[in-house]
Structure 1
Amino acid sequence: MYKIIALDMDGTLLNDEKVITDKTKNALIEARKKGVKVVLASGRPVDGLKRYLNELELVEDNEFVLSYNGCLVQKTKGEEIICEVGLTGKDLHYAYELSRQLGINIHAFSPTRGLITPKVSKYTEVEANINDIDIRVCDFNTIEEDEHIVKIMFIDEPEILDKAIASLPSEIYERYNVVKSTPYFLEIINKESGKGVGLKALADYLDIPSKEIIAVGDAGNDLDMIEFAGLGVAMGNATEKVKEIADYITGKNTEDGVLEVVEKFILND
């Protein structure tokens, strides 16, 4: 029997209106009644997940959430940290210089400052609106080298972002975990982090083997999580790379694909 189902949010649990359908919500509640832990695993900050945690009744003792692509794993109630792996201001300076060379927009997340950017752009506004958080404009050059940074993102129109990705130096992949989460977001996180790393940290904390875990996602930042889980599931709208490594391909996020997984592998098991 599976004991954890880890769910990506955008393009997976959420439909294109950023809503969890009632059918899926009810199925997840039934899964929890069977003793299965439902864990949201997202690139979003915790603040951008709170409304969904509340909606799914997951803000309770011994419930957990993976945010910032697994850089932060914590309890949903009391927010006790299980695992935290981040970056520094020195990493931000490196990425900022690279972004200027490539002519691409950038923003980052700081645990004390929130969503920070040297210049507000369209996709920083998208990030802020999705998560219902504020934007703080600041000069990245003024940030101390040892300041804690959670993650960094290159953000731009898909064609501009893809051109920049093609020009990235190999060094960046050697130094960081670089994953594309949407056509307009490229995420740069600690080399030792990722959704798979975060999910493993949680599994170790709960003493649950990977074979008893389901992970569902659609994009590049879900790959390591899907590979780690005993049952890795790709959404019908997932990238081809995600589908290639998945054990099972479910319906699209607009077709209650998560509901299909819950019914097939948990409720009807």
Structure 2
Amino acid sequence: MYKLIALDMDGTLLRGDGSISERTKSAIKEARKQGVKVVLASGRPLEGLERYLEELELTTPEDYALSYNGAVIKNVGTRETICSQLISGKDVQDVYAISQQIGVNTHAFSTELGLISPKVSHYTAHERDINGISLTLIDYNELSADHPIVKVMMVDEPEILSPGVEQIPAEYYERFTVVRSAPFFLEILNKNSNKGNGVSMLADYLGIKPEEVICVGDAGNDVHMLEYAGLSVAMGNAFDEIKAIADYVTHTNEDDGVAHVIEKFILS
């Protein structure tokens, strides 16, 4: 019996217009009635999840969410932080230096200042707007070396970002968790931060075994949690490499893929 289902947001739970279908909402509600934990696992900050948590009624002290690709795990009802794994101002400065060399834009998330960037690029404005958060313009060199940072991102048009990614020094992949969450987003986090570790730590906290966990995703930042899950599910619209590692491929995000998973593996 499955006791926890972790759902990626963009490209998975959400349709292209950012909405959640009524069928999916009904399936989630029925799963919760059976005692299954439904956990949103996203690269977004918690602020960017709140409207969906409220829409799905996942707002009690029994509900949890993974934000920033698992770097921060919180109890939604009490706001207690279950786990927080950060990087530093020095890390951001180093990543920014590389980004300048390869010609891509960046932004970062500070625990104290929120979304920060030296400039308002197209995808930084996109990050700000989809999450409904403010943006603070700042020279990264003004940050103290130990300034607490959740993650730093390289953000740009895919045709600019992709060749840029190929120029990132190999040691950065040893030093950080580096994941491609969208064609225009490359996320750089604490080496121990990823959705797989996040789901694992939450499951341990709740006394749930890996084989009792379903994880559903579509992109590169979902790989770790699919590798962890007892049942790994790729969306019909997922990247080919995600489908290749999944136990099951469901329908697309436009065709109630999440609802199909819940109905097939939990409600039946």
Q: How does 1:100-249 map to 2 (within 5 A)?
A: 100-249=100-249
Deviation at residue 171 of structure 1 after TM alignment = 1.1
Corresponding position of 1:63? 63
Per-residue CA distance 1:74-111 (angstroms, 9 max, x = gap): 10012101111010001001101011111110000011
Whether 2:257 is the aligned partner of 1:260: answer: no
Distance (Å, rounded) in 2 between the aligned partners of 1:192 and 1:31: 30
Corresponding position of 2:96? 96
Distance (Å, rounded) in 1 between the aligned partners of 2:61 and 2:140: 38
Whether 2:12 is the aligned partner of 1:12: answer: yes
Aligned length: 268
Corresponding position of 2:78? 78
TM-score by length of 2: 0.99
Counterpart of 1:33 in structure 2: which amino acid? K
Distance (Å, rounded) in 2 between the aligned partners of 1:26 and 1:109: 34
In structure 1, the gaps of 5 or more residues are: none
Deviation at residue 62 of structure 1 after TM alignment = 1.7
Cα RMSD after superposing both structures: 0.6
In structure 2, the gaps of 5 or more residues are: none
Provide the secondary structure at the position in 1 that maps to 2:44: coil
Counterpart of 1:43 in structure 2: which amino acid? G
Provide the secondary structure at the position in 2 that maps to 1:150: strand
Distance (Å, rounded) in 2 between the aligned partners of 1:259 and 1:59: 20
Corresponding position of 2:41? 41
Provide the secondary structure at the position in 1 that maps to 2:260: helix
Corresponding position of 2:23? 23
Distance (Å, rounded) in 2 between the aligned partners of 1:94 and 1:52: 34
Counterpart of 1:142 in structure 2: which amino acid? E
Distance (Å, rounded) in 2 between the aligned partners of 1:101 and 1:149: 22
Counterpart of 1:32 in structure 2: which amino acid? R
Distance (Å, rounded) in 2 between the aligned partners of 1:134 and 1:147: 19
Counterpart of 2:160 in structure 1: which amino acid? I
Counterpart of 2:252 in structure 1: which amino acid? K
Per-residue CA distance 1:155-208 (angstroms, 9 max, x = gap): 000000001011111111011110000010000001111000010110110010
Counterpart of 1:31 in structure 2: which amino acid? A
TM-score by length of 1: 0.99
Provide the secondary structure at the position in 1 that maps to 2:127: helix
Deviation at residue 251 of structure 1 after TM alignment = 0.6
Per-residue CA distance 1:131-175 (angstroms, 9 max, x = gap): 011111001000000010000000000000001011111111011
Distance (Å, rounded) in 2 between the aligned partners of 1:25 and 1:110: 32
Counterpart of 2:117 in structure 1: which amino acid? T
Identity of aligned residues (%): 55
Distance (Å, rounded) in 1 between the aligned partners of 2:258 and 2:148: 35
Distance (Å, rounded) in 2 between the aligned partners of 1:82 and 1:160: 37
Deviation at residue 70 of structure 1 after TM alignment = 0.1
